[in-house]
């Protein structure tokens, strides 16, 4: 408020004369109202301030007697004089604004907008000056009136705003707003506008939000009613018309791009010149007319985008539909169905013969679909939890219920276990450990969707046992890494036996070192042998299904180890698992062989070959009698020798009684070390059948133990609730069938673990 040029004020009026005082004040106020830009000189400024002060502190009012009570009269006089001055100023502002109203009627659209902004700025700048000049009136008379609860009394600056609102604004606000909306529409149509004009109008509307109950407070009521309400209505109308026409003339993808652009423009518009309070309702209005009103059209296009892998357009659709309530639910359902069908199709493509299906081919088919659509969820759907859940639901379906699983409900976990076995066996690949770690992580990706996890556990533990017993693991590090991954997924109980198998192998290694030292100390002549001591409760290995008479050399060495072990661990019993034993024999009988061949053989094969040290030919009956092997064990072993041409058969066209076997002295092979200890397909099928049978038996026991555990805790329970609770407790290992649970309940009733009570209730018997 720097003093400047305005001057020429008349002499100070008598302090108690309202007419003279107002005439004096009006001259200065008019100059401030009309020519403030030229400045106010100090003389004028102090003259107005002094005149207001003097009038408000006058001891008597014109025509008013104070004889009866000096103190009261003085107080009331000041009161009345302040009221007169306040009324004079109020009337002056009304007249001034009425003149502006007359002038405003001659303007329209942008000229009206320019007029409104110019006059608003001039008026509010003057109001700040006048408010300061009348501060004595504000501090005393106005404050006293407001303290007494007078609702129509305001400080001088607020009075200016109230007058602007009541005299001018209410009559021209619609026209001003119409001009604003035309300007905004021009901008929406691509024209450049002077948006600062709109910003100033917004600020004026906000400033007029006066709280009638408390003049010290402001509200957004005026702004919301006179600006926000028509702005939102115009916005809806504009985009309804535009979107309807655009959709009729363009593709859905092009419409999404247009809607995306429009939404970004509106957000920028809020930052540029709108009040922040409009952001949420404006966003809601735009979402409704640009997205919700066309949501069915967008959703119908989603399947086309999925079928054609249009990731960018799917991301655009996701970002649009997530802005409206429940906008994404239909997309998630379509996505889940699409992924499920894609998974089923991928499996059907590789599953022409489920029995001959390579585990790697099967697992890779599952992983390929998961990887493809997990990438889509990450890139197009922002890794949203609900889309991830839809992906998981779809994967769980096609992993557990597909073309391959029709031939056996346990096929997925079985094939996954076999593929893992292939990866972890020696000579499976030449892949580095880091790459193998990634592959094992992918294995766990499929594993998390497996419902029959107990099936995987059974097959995996049997295959792990063979890898450990035959020293056929590619890496102890990778084995322990896989067990850790399974433990993290299923808990300690799931991997406890797997971990104990590793412990047994380490104990056996130390035991063998001690045994070799013992043999060296006693000076005994022994085979180059090693022994594994496997705990009965932890290894999924059955005793041999045949009698066996090991070769004398092997028998002597085994007996020596047995004595050593019994001395070290008194009371323990050893059961020899001959079907898992293996060794090497050197063949020196071939003609023209410069270096003897080394045959890698099973214990059964070793016993057969060592019989040919005594004579060149043996009948089938002699071999069976000496080795004590039954036909199931003997015939496959002989079959391997015949196929490799180590032995020659005569006297019969098939292995069995009546056949005679002789050494083939003309045996030749490119390798010097030849592995004859190969699995027989029939043995593998039999083992798989036994594993499946074991799984079923274990499941029955697991269901029964779960029921007993639940009833022991609850004591009494409704039949159906017990079935539901049993499913809940077991489903992390496999999904039990209702009939299996009911059969288990009947068994426990027969065994008197449970009893029937009234009203379909069961009770626990301790």
Least confident of 427-436, 470-479, 512-521, 564-573: 427-436
Q: Which two tokens stand for residue 324?
A: 């409206």
For the chain, percent of residues with pLDDT exceeding 70? 91
> Which of 463, 539, 532, 529 is CA-nearest to residue 500?
539
CATH of the domain at 274: 1.20.1310.10
User: What is the per-residue pLDDT for 550?
Assistant: 92
Measured distance CA(327)–CA(292) in Å, rounded: 8
Per-residue CA distances from 582 to 467, 529, 603, 605, 606 (Å)? 13, 10, 5, 9, 8
Is residue 451 in a domain? no
Domain stops at, among 680, 708, 731: 680
Residues 208, 248 within the same domain: no
What does the alpha-carbon distance between residue 127 and residue 5 come to, in Å, rounded to a whole number?
Answer: 19
Q: Say how many Å lie between the first and final Cα of the chain, rounded.
A: 96
Name the nearest CA neighbour of 372 among 335, 397, 328: 335
For residues 638 and 732, membership in a common domain is answered with no
Q: Residues 671, 578: one domain?
A: yes
Is residue 520 situated within a structural domain?
no
Residue 585 lies in a domain: yes
Per residue in 443-467, pLDDT tens? 999 999 998 888 899 899 999 998 9
- Nearest CA to 445 out of 391, 401, 403 is that of 391
**pLDDT at residue 355, as a whole number:** 65
For residue 130, give its domain range: 3-219
255 vs 260: CA distance, rounded Å = 8
Residue 229 φ/ψ region, left for φ over 0, alpha for ψ in the -120 to 50 degree band, beta for the rest: alpha
Of the candidates 684, 583, 670, 590, the residue with the CA atom closest to the CA atom of residue 636:
684
Angle in degrees, CA 202, 204, 209, rounded to 5? 100
Examine the domain organization and report whether 585 and 562 are in the same domain.
Answer: yes
Residues 648 and 739 in one domain: no
Dihedral of CA atoms 183, 188, 189, 190 in degrees, nearest 10, equals: 100
pLDDT digits (tens, 9 = 90+) for 563-582: 889 888 887 888 899 988 99
The H or E element spanning position 100 is helix 70-104
Provide the CA 707 distance to its chain's centre, in angstroms.
Answer: 35
617-619 and 660-663 strand pairing:
antiparallel
> Is there a single domain that holds both residue 585 and residue 703?
no
Q: Of residues 380 and 71, which shows the higher confidence score?
A: 380
Place of tokens 């957004």: 220
* Domain shared by 199 and 295, yes or no: no
Rounded CA-CA distance 461/439 in Å is 19
Specify if 30 maps to a domain. yes
More confident site: 552 or 5: 552
Task: Give Cα 526 distance to the centre of its chain.
Answer: 62
Same domain, 21 and 132: yes
Q: What percent of the chain has pLDDT over 90?
A: 49
Task: Report d(CA 648, CA 310) in Å as an integer.
Answer: 65
The lowest-confidence range among 257-271, 314-328, 358-372, 423-437 is 423-437
Residue 296's Cβ-side half-sphere holds a number of Cα atoms within 13 Å equal to 1
Unique residue bearing structure tokens 């001009």:
179
- Per DSSP, the residues of 680-719 read -HHHHHHHHHHHHHHHHHHHHHHHHHHHHHHHHHHSEEEH
Q: What are the two backbone dihedrals, phi and then psi, of residue 265, each rounded to the nearest 5 degrees?
A: -60, -40
* Cα separation, 38 vs 212, whole angstroms: 35
What is the reported pLDDT for 9?
55
Single residue among 286, 304, 322 that ends a domain in this structure: 304
Given this model, what pLDDT does residue 300 score? 94
Q: Is 383 helix (H, G, I), strand (E, B) or coil?
A: coil
8, two tokens: 């020429």
Q: What tens digit of pLDDT does each residue of 583-639 get?
A: 999 988 887 777 888 999 999 999 999 999 988 899 999 999 999 999 989 999 999
**Whole-number Å distance between alpha carbons of 708 and 754:** 8
pLDDT digits (tens, 9 = 90+) for 390-416: 999 999 999 999 888 875 567 899 999
Is there a contact between 329 and 278 (Cβ–Cβ < 8 Å)?
no
Q: How many residues does the chain have?
A: 766
Asked if the structure places residue 321 within a domain, the reply is no
Rounded (10°) CA dihedral 407, 409, 414, 415: 50
- The confidence band for 23, taking pLDDT boundaries of 50, 70 and 90, is confident
**Torsions phi, psi for 674 (to 5 deg):** -120, 125
Does residue 638 share a domain with residue 568? yes
Enter the tokens of residue 642: 């015949």
Q: How many CB atoms lie within 10 A of CB 181?
A: 19
- Return the structure tokens found at 704: 């029964």
Q: Decide which of 141 and 127 is more confident.
A: 127
Q: Is 390 part of any domain?
A: no
- Nearest CA-CA partner of 85 in 45, 54, 112, 126: 54
How many distinct helices (H) and strands (E) make up the chain? 30, 11
Residues 627 and 665 reside in one and the same domain:
yes
Average pLDDT over residues 735-750: 87
Asked whether residue 142 falls in the same domain as residue 23, the answer is yes
Question: How many CA atoms does the CB half-sphere of 580 hold within 13 Å?
Answer: 24
Retrieve residue 429's tokens: 């690949």
Question: Is residue 281 assigned to a domain?
Answer: yes
**E-only strand ranges, 519-559:** none
The per-residue pLDDT for 362 is 93
**75 against 476, higher pLDDT:** 476
Residue at 424 is within a domain: no
Three-state SS for 431-468 is CCHHHHHHHHHHHHHHHCCCCCHHHHHHHHHHHHHHHH
User: Residue 741: which CATH number?
Assistant: 1.10.10.10
CATH code for the domain of 676: 3.30.230.130
Number of domains forming the structure of the chain: 4
Mean pLDDT computed over every residue of the chain? 86
Does pLDDT of 63 surpass 60?
Answer: no
Instruction: Give every CB contact of residue 96 below 8 A, 6+ residues apart in sequence.
Output: 33
pLDDT attached to residue 446? 95
pLDDT at 431: 65
Handedness of CA 74, 78, 83, 88 (dihedral sign): positive
- 3 state DSSP class of 764: strand
425: helix, coil or strand? strand
* 651 and 618 in a common domain: yes
Q: Last residue of some domain: 620, 647, 680?
A: 680
Q: List C-alpha distances in Å: 116 to 25, 202, 224, 419, 429.
A: 26, 12, 19, 80, 82
Which pair of tokens denotes residue 473? Answer: 């693991």
Alpha-carbon gap, residue 655 to 231, rounded angstroms: 96
Q: Quick one: how far is CA 558 from the chain centroid? A: 58
Enter the tokens of residue 41: 């000189």
> pTM score, two decimals?
0.78
On whether the CB atoms of residues 577 and 543 are closer than 8 A, the answer is yes
């Amino acid at each position: 408020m720097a003093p400047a040029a305005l001057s020429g004020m008349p002499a100070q009026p008598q302090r108690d004369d309202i007419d003279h005082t107002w005439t004096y004040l009006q001259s200065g106020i008019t100059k401030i109202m009309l020519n403030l830009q030229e400045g106010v000189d100090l003389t004028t400024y102090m003259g107005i301030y002094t005149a207001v002060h003097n009038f408000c502190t006058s001891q008597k009012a014109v025509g008013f007697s104070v004889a009866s009570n000096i103190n009261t009269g003085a107080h009331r006089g000041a009161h009345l004089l302040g009221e007169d001055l306040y009324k004079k100023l109020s009337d002056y502002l009304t007249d001034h604004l009425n003149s502006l109203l007359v002038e405003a009627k001659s303007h329209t659209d942008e000229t009206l907008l320019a007029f409104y902004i110019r006059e608003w700025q001039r008026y509010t700048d003057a109001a700040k000056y006048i408010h300061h000049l009348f501060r004595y009136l504000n501090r005393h008379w106005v404050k006293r009136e407001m303290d007494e609860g007078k609702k129509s009394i305001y400080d001088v600056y607020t009075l200016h705003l109230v007058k602007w609102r009541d005299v001018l604004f209410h009559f021209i606000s619609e026209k001003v707003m119409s001009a604003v909306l035309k300007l905004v529409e021009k901008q929406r149509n691509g024209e450049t506008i002077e948006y600062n004009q709109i910003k100033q109008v917004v600020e004026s509307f906000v400033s007029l939000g006066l709280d009638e109950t408390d003049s010290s407070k402001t509200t957004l009521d005026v702004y919301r009613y006179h600006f926000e309400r028509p702005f939102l209505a115009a916005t809806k109308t504009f985009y309804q018309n535009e979107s309807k026409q655009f959709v009729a003339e363009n593709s859905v993808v092009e419409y999404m791009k247009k809607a995306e652009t429009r939404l970004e423009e509106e957000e920028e518009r809020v930052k540029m010149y709108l009040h922040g309070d409009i952001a949420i309702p404006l966003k809601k209005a735009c979402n409704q007319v640009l997205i919700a009103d066309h949501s069915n059209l967008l959703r119908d296009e989603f399947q086309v985008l999925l079928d054609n892998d249009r990731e960018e357009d799917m991301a655009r659709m996701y970002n649009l539909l997530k802005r409206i309530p429940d906008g994404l639910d239909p997309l998630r359902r379509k996505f889940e169905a699409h992924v499920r069908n894609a998974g089923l199709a991928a499996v059907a493509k590789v599953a022409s013969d489920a029995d001959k299906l390579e585990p790697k081919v099967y697992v890779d088919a599952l992983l390929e679909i998961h990887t493809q659509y997990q990438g889509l969820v990450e890139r197009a759907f922002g890794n949203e939890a609900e889309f991830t859940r839809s992906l998981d639901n779809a994967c769980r379906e096609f992993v557990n219920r597909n073309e391959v699983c029709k031939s056996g409900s346990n096929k997925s976990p079985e094939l996954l276990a076999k593929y893992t076995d292939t990866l972890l066996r020696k000579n499976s690949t030449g892949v580095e450990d880091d790459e193998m770690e990634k592959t094992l992580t992918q294995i766990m990706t499929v594993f998390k969707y497996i419902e029959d996890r107990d099936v995987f556990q059974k097959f995996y533990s049997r295959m792990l046992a063979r890898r450990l017993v035959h020293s056929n693991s590619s890496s102890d590090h990778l084995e322990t890494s896989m067990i850790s991954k399974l433990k993290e997924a299923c808990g300690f109980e799931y991997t406890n036996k797997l971990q104990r198998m590793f412990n047994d192998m380490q104990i056996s290694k130390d035991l063998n070192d001690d045994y070799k030292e013992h043999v060296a100390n006693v000076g005994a002549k022994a085979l180059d042998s090693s022994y594994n001591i496997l705990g009965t409760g932890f290894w999924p290995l059955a005793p041999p299904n045949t009698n066996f008479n090991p070769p004398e050399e092997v028998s002597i060495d085994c007996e020596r180890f047995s004595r050593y072990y019994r001395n070290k661990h008194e009371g323990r019993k050893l059961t020899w698992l001959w079907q898992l034993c293996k060794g090497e024999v050197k063949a020196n009988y071939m003609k023209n062989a410069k270096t003897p061949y080394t045959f890698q053989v099973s214990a059964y094969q070793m016993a057969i070959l060592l019989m040919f040290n005594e004579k060149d030919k043996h009948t089938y009956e002699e071999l069976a009698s000496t080795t004590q092997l039954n036909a199931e064990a003997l015939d496959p072993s002989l079959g391997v020798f015949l196929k490799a041409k180590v032995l020659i058969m005569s006297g019969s066209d098939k292995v069995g009684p009546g056949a005679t076997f002789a050494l083939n002295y003309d045996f030749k092979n490119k390798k010097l070390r030849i592995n004859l200890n190969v699995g027989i397909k029939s043995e593998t099928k039999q083992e798989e059948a036994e594993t499946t049978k074991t799984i079923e038996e274990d499941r029955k026991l697991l269901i029964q133990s779960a029921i007993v555990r639940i009833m022991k805790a609850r004591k009494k329970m409704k039949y159906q609730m017990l079935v539901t609770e049993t499913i809940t407790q077991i489903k992390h290992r496999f999904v039990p069938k209702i009939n299996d649970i009911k059969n288990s309940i009947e068994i426990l009733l027969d065994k008197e673990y449970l009893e029937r009570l009234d009203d379909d209730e069961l009770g626990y018997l301790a």
